[in-house]
């Protein structure tokens, strides 16, 4: 089988670099083009010296004529730019976007949360919001695959199975998430130049973080109505990783044991989801540099309430790794190819 050709647009950001580091070890693909703006003419190894010995093309400015030479386009660009590229797609192309361009199914919601008009509304129906373990083989039917945000990945993986089973009260879900500062991108130090990112913990986007929109969208698909949740993200003094702490009220038909057993059953065929023993304390250190999501169901002092801990690496399971999982699903590769 000949290898599929890949173009990466936004190849020098944290996610772009992580994508390259994983894809160079994927036996079914080859990187044909690396695209950037301020980095044109440079080598990607200038941004990560572990890539010095890899045979990779120099960074060039994106041109739509490149699309005839590639099968897959990964976009790790500022919001709105993948929408423009999507207009030039050929039948042979698959677009896998790691930004928010196709995460929301309504263009009005995109305008509301991202404060810009959607530039390719006709392509929204061609796209799928895909957490690989949830979407499964449905990705095969779509030309555009939208990868979830890193926070929603850590939150929806434990919540969707429980909401579907009606095990929890969806009227008062509280979500507290802490992320490494790489989640804010390479410009993080410019964005937060008055904060000491290495020694402080900061809340931001309180009540109105953009990822509220996709969490609401995906949970509402399960309940067929709006859910009431409060989500607060924090920047932590670490480079990578996310730990989400989710506070839930369980229904009378459920229990901590039932919930844990259901999660184990739901994800038993999914290599990258690890449901731990109940009351197991977990940390981001358990999942750093992997494509795993660790989930732990914990008891509280109240019999009708539980706490779920969920940990991922935001750059891999919450980004590049999840994108490769989606590619593997789309093209029938082994699900862990390039992710071992």
Catalytic residue selected from 147, 150, 222, 293: 150
Q: What is the pLDDT of residues 180-222, one digit of tens each?
A: 988 877 666 666 666 777 788 989 989 899 999 999 999 999 9
Decide if pLDDT at 178 tops 80: yes
Task: Say what percent of the chain tops pLDDT 90.
Answer: 87
CA distance 149 to 134: 14
Q: What is the pLDDT of residues 279-323, one digit of tens each?
A: 999 999 999 999 999 999 999 999 999 999 999 999 999 999 999
Structure-token pair, residue 262: 């259901």
- Calculate mean pLDDT across residues 17-37: 96
Q: What is the pLDDT of residues 130-176, one digit of tens each?
A: 999 999 999 999 999 999 999 999 999 999 999 999 999 999 899 99
Domain with CATH 3.40.50.720 in the chain: 4-147+318-331
In the residue annotation, 147 being an active-site residue is answered as no
CA distances from 225 to 54, 106, 217, 301 (A): 50, 16, 10, 30
Q: What is the pLDDT of residues 106-142, one digit of tens each?
A: 999 999 999 999 999 999 999 999 999 999 999 999 9
198-202-205 Cα angle (round to 5)? 135
Label residue 20 by pLDDT band (50, 70, 90).
very high
What pLDDT score was predicted for residue 227?
Answer: 85
Decide if pLDDT at 255 tops 70: yes
CA distance 153 to 131: 7
The domain over range 4-147+318-331 is classified in CATH as 3.40.50.920: no
- Calculate mean pLDDT across residues 256-264: 97
Domain with CATH 3.30.360.10 in the chain: 151-314
> For residue 293, with 0-12 CB atoms within 10 Å meaning exposed, 13-18 middle and 19 or more buried, which class applies?
buried
Helices and strands: H and E segment counts in the chain: 9, 14
Averaged pLDDT score across all residues of the chain: 94
The highest-level CATH class for domain 151-314 is: alpha beta
- Calculate mean pLDDT across residues 243-272: 97
Token pair 């449905």: residue: 138
What pLDDT score was predicted for residue 291?
Answer: 98
What pLDDT score was predicted for residue 197?
Answer: 73
Of 88, 91, 39, the closest CA to residue 66 belongs to: 88
CA distance 308 to 113: 27
């Amino acid at each position: 089988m000949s290898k599929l050709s890949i173009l990466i647009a936004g190849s020098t950001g944290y996610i772009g670099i992580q994508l390259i580091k994983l894809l160079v070890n994927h036996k079914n693909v080859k990187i044909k083009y690396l695209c950037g703006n301020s980095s044109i003419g440079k080598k990607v190894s200038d941004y990560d010296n572990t890539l010095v010995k890899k045979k990779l093309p120099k960074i060039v400015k994106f041109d739509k004529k490149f699309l005839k030479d590639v099968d897959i386009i990964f976009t790790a660009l500022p919001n709105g730019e993948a929408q423009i590229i999507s207009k030039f797609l050929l039948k042979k192309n698959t677009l896998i976007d790691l930004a928010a361009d196709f995460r929301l199914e309504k263009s009005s919601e995109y305008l509301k949360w991202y404060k810009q008009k959607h530039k390719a509304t006709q392509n929204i129906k061609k796209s799928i919001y895909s957490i690989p373990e949830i979407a499964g083989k449905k990705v095969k039917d779509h030309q555009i695959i939208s990868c979830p945000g890193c926070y929603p990945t850590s939150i929806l993986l434990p919540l969707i199975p429980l909401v579907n089973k009606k095990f929890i009260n969806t009227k008062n879900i509280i979500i507290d998430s802490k992320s490494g500062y790489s989640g804010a991108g390479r410009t993080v130090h410019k964005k937060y130049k008055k904060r000491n990112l290495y020694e402080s913990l900061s809340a931001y986007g309180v009540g109105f973080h953009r990822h509220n929109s996709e969490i609401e969208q995906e949970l509402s698909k399960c309940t067929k109505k709006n859910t009431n949740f409060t989500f607060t993200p924090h920047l932590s003094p670490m480079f990578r990783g996310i730990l989400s702490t989710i506070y839930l009220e369980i229904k009378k038909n459920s229990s901590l044991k039932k919930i844990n057993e259901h999660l184990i059953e739901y994800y038993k065929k999914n290599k990258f989801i690890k449901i731990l023993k109940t009351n197991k304390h977990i940390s981001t250190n358990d999942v750093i540099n992997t494509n795993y999501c660790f989930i732990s169901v914990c008891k509280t002092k109240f019999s009708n309430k539980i706490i779920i801990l969920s940990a991922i690496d935001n750059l891999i399971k919450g980004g590049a790794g999840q994108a490769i999982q989606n590619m593997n699903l789309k093209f029938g590769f082994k699900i862990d190819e390039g992710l071992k």
